[in-house]
Amino acid sequence: GMRETASPATLPADTLKADILWHVLYSLGRDNERPDRQTVFRALALALRDRLVEKWIASQRAIYAKSSKRVYYLSLEFLPGPFLRQNLIALGLEKEARDALTELGFTLDDVAGEEWEPGLGNGGLGRLASCYLDSMAALRLPAYGYGIRYAFGIFHQLIRDGQQVERADNWLRGGQHWEFERTHYMHPVRFYGSVREWVDEQGRLRHTLEGGSTVMAMACDMFIPGYRNDYVLNMRLWAAKSSREFEFSFFNTGDYIGAVEKKIRDENISMVLYPNDEAPEGKELRLKQQFFLVSATMQDIVRRFRKKGVAWDQFPRKNVIHLNETHPAVAIPELMRLLVDEELLPWEEAWYICVRTFAYTNHTVLPEALEVWPEELFRKVLPRHLQIIYEINRRFLHDVRRQFPHDPGLLARVSLIHEGEQRFVRMSHLAIVGSFSVNGVSAHHSNIIKESIFNEFYKIFPERFNNKTNGITPRRWLRQCNPTLAWLITEHIGTEWLTDLEQLKKLEPYAESAGFQKAWMEVRLRNKQKLAEYIHAKNGITILPESLYDVHVKRFHEYKRQLLNILHVITLYNRIRRDPDAGIVPRTFIFGGKAAPGYYMAKHIIQLINAVGYTINTDPRVGDMLKVVFLQNYCVTLAERIMPATDLSEQISTAGMEASGTGNMKFALNGAITIGTHDGANIEMLEHVGDENLFLFGLLSHEVEDLRRQGYNPRTFYETDSELREVLDMISGGYFSPGDPHMFRDIVESLLNHGDRYMVLADFRSYAYRQQDAARAYLDQPGWARRSMLNTARMGFFSSDRSMGEYARDIWGVEGV
Ligand code: 26V
């Protein structure tokens, strides 16, 4: 058949069409006379997988031959986004694919629209992990991503009657086309049981887990190609499979249904992603997920290490295990258990290996997001690991007591165990004590870590703390999502920017060119027209492409202050109602984002935005001056539509609360101008683009702290600012909820009577002024074009290639193969 002509590595370009048809028939079992769009998509994906797996095998051989130190990036979340276009770009097959699809009667846009993205993450943290894999591949790093193949990813969000409704994300329903399931390749993972202590013939104290139950971890591999470099990395996701015990129990007891129930329970472990990104749920299943990832991954790492036949003390020279947040931090006691209980290394030697192997990235300073586990739960699920944590803690506290003999309170504060009415294992403390590197994700955040939340650890281990400012991949976030702008850039400065984003600096001289400004703004306007069409189709709202697109998309959380934004929207509405000829710049406010299903206030704010939108969009006095759009189900696919069409990017978190942000970078790379607070990576963006090109406002983090200490009274702002007062009175008086005047009372209460924890009222006036500056700037279109171009031109630093280069050099000590 056609397969034989397609020999590895030298596939001629014109076989893509033949390969698609081959897969339609032989892999998908469909008539290849007139395949439908979904079938063609799947066949194309399979044809690309063929090419990826060849390059992956070659890359693995290269890593093995070089005997390189390997990087293991462990994350409970990955948000890769749709693969099709990304893989075509990386493999250099975009044109061939277009041609092949044209011959088959389809367009690439249509076929790409058939892909359902794997939503295996909540937001920033998961998307960062995927940008990092893309850059690790671009840099040819000897690296592996490890995670969980949730059967259900982040829920699909619908807006019904102005409220968020969650639907299960059954992303696997169309079958799998990008991954290889390794059905014959499984690791056992053991939970529960009890620890038996005994003494062996050599008189050593031994620990053995008895009883408990075993679940199998099946590897599912997905490929991440480097940009045009023939290098492919593997993202290995584990799926839970019941062990053979299922069959035995069936034979032994005849309890067939009971055995099936056990199978279902076991396979639950990888069933669903926890949709929470602010307050950990403390649920047994979540802890099991974490250990499931860790245990299976450690078995893979150890198996690969053993192949080399070198001594255990070489382990840190050959492996570095990176912990994306504390979620996989149980890897630390798991490695100790392997070394001490199974390999019989002395504790000191095992610990020496551990602390040279692990590196930890912190992604949040919100106290409620710091992970802790009730000790009882931990003991039940992982009894031996709890013992090991106690021993780590005993030795750690012993050392601290010697280093700081005159601070008795210190021990309780840094202990791995929080002792109160209930005892908790503090995962961040475990991660810091067990790692040689602890990093924050922006300069500002890393300083906060050192100066406040982990200050005492910083005093104990100053050399461990460092910063690695986040980055984003320019292949997806410019080249793929904004092909026309990418093309305009390439026409002027060549293609090098794709792998060396600092090259965008070469655009700066064009910022003053009227011709280039015009071309730039034409591309942007076309992008805005396309988004207007999408909004019309989805929401039935007509928006003016020439209006200022003011966009706030990200997870809903009070600290991200979507509420501050909508208060300002209402302010503009009131100004128009008072004076329809006020000369306000026409604006389209676009919101998007999911709220954790149990987060009452966040869901309520979504509802308020939709209610305000309904009122404004249907008020004839407003007309085209103001539109408010809520786009449902914000996800990577939707972000790719929005980023290229945004004028003003909202990055308005309470100062000190957003660790970095990465949406801020995606917008600016596509030529949006930021309105934002002095928080996270906004501060570094300001340093790079200059303060004429970015609108910052509001309290600084130390001012937030000072104000809180002095006793912040939000009511004074309500009393002294009449515009603000009018807005709040409208909300609490039912202006936006005439059928139920009390509907949004809790929101206003949280601001006026419950302390306004996120200082929305304190920043309101400064925000409103800055918004006026933005509107004025928009009236000067050549000036806006210049600002927009300079934002793009100066985003070089925020490439994830730069971030990964720094991790590789400063933390991991690895180079490209
Ligand atoms: C906590 C939990 C608790 C258990 C359930 C699942 C879950 C998932 C995530 C988290 C903590 C998330 C922390 C986080 O997402 N931080 C974000 O990380 C981005 C990448 O570094 C950064 O840009 C954002 O500013 C930061 O909020």
pTM beyond 0.95, yes or no: yes
- Residue of the nearest CA to atom 12 in ligand 1? 277
φ/ψ of 608, rounded to 5, equals -60, -45
Query: 658 CB under 6 A from ligand 1?
Result: yes
φ/ψ of 247, rounded to 5, equals -65, -40
Q: Provide the pLDDT for residue 10.
A: 45
φ/ψ of 786, rounded to 5, equals -65, -45
Mutation choice for ligand 1 from 148, 272, 277, CB with most ligand atoms inside 8 A: 277
| 555 annotated active-site | yes
φ/ψ of 723, rounded to 5, equals -65, -45
Q: Provide the pLDDT for residue 540.
A: 98
| 318 annotated active-site | no
Q: Provide the pLDDT for residue 254.
A: 78
ipTM comes to: 0.95
Q: How many residues does the chain have?
A: 817
Q: Where are the domains of the chain?
A: 67-81+117-468, 543-781
**How far, in Å, is the centroid of ligand 1 from the Cα of 125?**
5
Q: Distance between the two ends of the chain, CA-based, in angstroms?
A: 36
**How far, in Å, is the centroid of ligand 1 from the Cα of 29?**
42
Of ligand 1's atoms, which has the minimum distance to the CA of residue 470?
A: 21
Question: What class does CATH assign to 67-81+117-468?
Answer: alpha beta
Q: What distance in Å separates the CA atoms of residue 376 and residue 700, rounded to the nearest whole number?
A: 41
CA nearest neighbour of 223 among 92, 50, 17:
50
pLDDT cut 90: percent of the chain above it: 92
Query: 121 CB under 6 A from ligand 1?
Result: no
Query: 364 CB under 6 A from ligand 1?
Result: yes
**What is the widest separation between alpha-carbon atoms in the chain?**
93
Strands 587-592 and 626-631: parallel
Query: 131 CB under 6 A from ligand 1?
Result: no
Q: Provide the pLDDT for residue 373.
A: 97
| 102 annotated active-site | no
CA nearest neighbour of 764 among 600, 566, 503, 619:
566
| 95 annotated active-site | no
Q: Provide the pLDDT for residue 472.
A: 99
pLDDT digits (tens, 9 = 90+) for 700-709: 999 999 999 9
Query: 659 CB under 6 A from ligand 1?
Result: yes
CA nearest neighbour of 32 among 108, 116, 123, 104:
104
- Three-state SS at 206: strand
Query: 353 is written with which tokens?
Result: 């290996």
Mean pLDDT of 666-689: 98
Tell me the HSE value of 329 on the side-chain side, using a 13 A CA sphere: 25
Q: Provide the pLDDT for residue 245.
A: 65
pLDDT digits (tens, 9 = 90+) for 195-229: 999 999 999 999 999 999 999 999 999 999 999 99
Contacts of 585 (CB under 8 A, 6+ apart): 547, 548, 775, 778, 779
**How far, in Å, is the centroid of ligand 1 from the Cα of 734?**
35
* CA angle in degrees (0–180, nearest 5) for 737-739-740: 70
Beta-bridged to residue 676, according to DSSP, are 651, 696
Q: Provide the pLDDT for residue 246.
A: 59
- Three-state SS at 657: coil
Of ligand 1's atoms, which has the minimum distance to the CA of residue 127?
A: 20
Mean pLDDT of 146-150: 98
Query: 280 CB under 6 A from ligand 1?
Result: yes
pLDDT digits (tens, 9 = 90+) for 150-198: 999 999 999 999 999 999 999 998 778 999 999 988 999 999 999 999 9
Active-site residue, from 476, 560, 561, 688: 560
Residue recorded with tokens 């996800």: 635
With beta carbons less than 8 A apart as the criterion, state whether 546 and 583 touch. Answer: no
Query: 442 CB under 6 A from ligand 1?
Result: no
With beta carbons less than 8 A apart as the criterion, state whether 713 and 697 touch. Answer: no
With beta carbons less than 8 A apart as the criterion, state whether 155 and 171 touch. Answer: no
**How far, in Å, is the centroid of ligand 1 from the Cα of 369?**
8
Query: 124 CB under 6 A from ligand 1?
Result: yes
Query: 660 CB under 6 A from ligand 1?
Result: yes
Radius of gyration in angstroms for the set of CA atoms belonging to the chain, rounded to a whole number: 27
| 662 annotated active-site | yes
Mutation choice for ligand 1 from 79, 125, 442, 701, CB with most ligand atoms inside 8 A: 125
- Residue of the nearest CA to atom 24 in ligand 1? 661
Residue type, 721: D
pLDDT digits (tens, 9 = 90+) for 6-52: 444 444 445 899 999 999 999 999 999 999 999 999 999 999 999 99
Query: 517 is written with which tokens?
Result: 């400004």
Residue recorded with tokens 């023939």: 230
Q: Provide the pLDDT for residue 259.
A: 81
Mutation choice for ligand 1 from 278, 363, 441, 651, CB with most ligand atoms inside 8 A: 363
- Give the pLDDT band of residue 581 (cuts 50, 70, 90): confident
Region label for 226, one of left (φ > 0), alpha (ψ between -120 and 50) or beta (otherwise):
beta
Active-site residue, from 450, 479, 528, 666: 666
CA nearest neighbour of 45 among 88, 96, 1:
88
Mean pLDDT of 411-426: 97
Query: 276 CB under 6 A from ligand 1?
Result: yes
Active-site residue, from 23, 49, 384, 555: 555
Is residue 673 predicted with pLDDT exceeding 60? yes
CA nearest neighbour of 603 among 743, 768, 755:
743
**How far, in Å, is the centroid of ligand 1 from the Cα of 615?**
34
* CA angle in degrees (0–180, nearest 5) for 744-750-754: 150
- Residue of the nearest CA to atom 4 in ligand 1? 280
- Residue of the nearest CA to atom 10 in ligand 1? 277
* CA angle in degrees (0–180, nearest 5) for 191-424-146: 50
Is residue 416 predicted with pLDDT exceeding 50? yes
**DSSP letter string, 425-494:** EEHHHHHHHT-SEEEESSHHHHHHIIIIITHHHHHH-GGGEEE----B-HIIIIIIT-HHHHHHHHHHH-
Under CATH, which architecture does the 543-781 domain have? Answer: 3-Layer(aba) Sandwich (3.40)
pLDDT digits (tens, 9 = 90+) for 643-668: 999 999 999 999 999 999 999 999 99
Query: 130 CB under 6 A from ligand 1?
Result: no
pLDDT digits (tens, 9 = 90+) for 712-760: 999 999 999 999 999 999 999 999 999 999 999 999 999 999 999 999 9
Is residue 143 predicted with pLDDT exceeding 70? yes
Q: Provide the pLDDT for residue 496.
A: 98
**How far, in Å, is the centroid of ligand 1 from the Cα of 363?**
6
Is residue 267 predicted with pLDDT exceeding 70? yes
Query: 470 CB under 6 A from ligand 1?
Result: yes
- Whether 543-781 and 67-81+117-468 are alike in CATH topology: the answer is yes
Q: Provide the pLDDT for residue 749.
A: 98
Q: Provide the pLDDT for residue 2.
A: 42
Mean pLDDT of 523-536: 98
Residue recorded with tokens 């920017």: 497
Is residue 306 predicted with pLDDT exceeding 60? yes
Query: 662 CB under 6 A from ligand 1?
Result: yes
| Exposure b/e, 572-605, CB count within 10 A at least 16 = b | bbebbeeeeeeebbbbbbbbbbbbbeebeebbbb
Mean pLDDT of 804-812: 98
Strands 194-199 and 205-210: antiparallel
Query: 436 is written with which tokens?
Result: 């040689």
